[in-house]
Amino acid sequence: ERSFTVDNFFRIQNQELRRYMLRRGVEIKDVLAKMTKVKEDAEGVLYRTGDENAWDRRMYLHVKCPSTGQDYLLEVPNNMETPAAARRWTFNIPAESEFVKEA
C-alpha cells in the first residue's frame, strides 16, 4: 500500500481507490503538480491533465471538506468552466443552486 505512485493514481478510475491511495502514500501535492491549474474560485480548483485540446485530457475538481479537512480530487466532465459549476455537477444539482451550509 505504501508503494502507490502518482501514475497509479491516474490509471485508476475508481474514486474510492484513489482516495485510499491519497491516504496511503500518494501525496495530493504531487498529484496536483502533474496537472495544469485551469481555474480557481471560492468553491475549489479545476485542474486538467493533458493538453487543452488533447483527446485524452481529463478535468478534475480539487476540493477540501470543511469539517474533516480531507482533500478530494473528483473527475468532472471536460466542459466544466468553473469549480463552482463542477461542484454542482458532482451533486447533480442545477448550476444556479446555492449551498446554504455545509457540515
Whole-number Å distance between alpha carbons of 3 and 96: 42
In this predicted model, what pLDDT tens digit does every residue of 81-95 receive, in sequence order? 999 999 999 999 998
Residue 102 has pLDDT above 70, yes or no: no
In this predicted model, what pLDDT tens digit does every residue of 10-38 receive, in sequence order? 888 888 888 888 888 888 999 999 999 99
Residue 39 has pLDDT above 70, yes or no: yes
Residue 103 has pLDDT above 70, yes or no: no
Nearest one of 17, 19, 21, 45 to 33, comparing CA atoms: 45
Nearest one of 56, 57, 37, 33 to 47, comparing CA atoms: 37
* Whole-number pLDDT of residue 100: 80
